[in-house]
Amino acid sequence: MVRIPVREAIMMKDMDIEEIFVRSSGPGGQNVNKVASCVCLRHRPTGLIIKCQEFRTQHQNRVRARELLALELERRSRARLLAARCEREKRRRQSRGRSRAGKELVLEAKKRAARKKHSRSRVRIDY
């Protein structure tokens, strides 16, 4: 098993990557029609598919496709970490207690509501 280090965090195994070489499309003339220079990489664990046909040679496209695959895996990894961090922060904010000033504001609002409700009571007339 050969591991390819890409950047510092992402490690891709060769056995996890399926390579397919197909003919490119678009401008390029005879080379596009005859040579399978387009590279499609499929990352089996995630199901991610990267297709690269930027260059005329298969080797350059293969290298570039691996770079693009590593970048996308890293982007997804960072997005997962960020979502987990945001969720932890949200839970922390929800579970912390109110500040003293906040408690006083809530208590004052309750008192105002009580006075308003009390003013709605029936009027008694004493003779």
Q: In this structure, what CATH number is given to the domain that contains residue 69?
A: 3.30.160.20
Domain that holds residue 60: 3-94
CA distances from 68 to 76, 81, 88 (A): 12, 20, 30
pTM, whole model, 2 decimals?
A: 0.62
Is residue 51 domain-resident?
yes
- Write down the mean pLDDT value for the chain: 83
Is residue 101 domain-resident?
no
pLDDT in tens, 49-69: 999 888 888 888 899 999 999
Nearest CA-CA partner of 61 in 71, 69, 51: 51
Q: Which residues are within 8 A (CB) of 48 and not within 5 positions of it... i.e. 6 or more apart?
A: 42, 69, 72, 73, 76
Nearest CA-CA partner of 42 in 24, 68, 60, 23: 68
Counting the structural domains of the chain, the total is 1
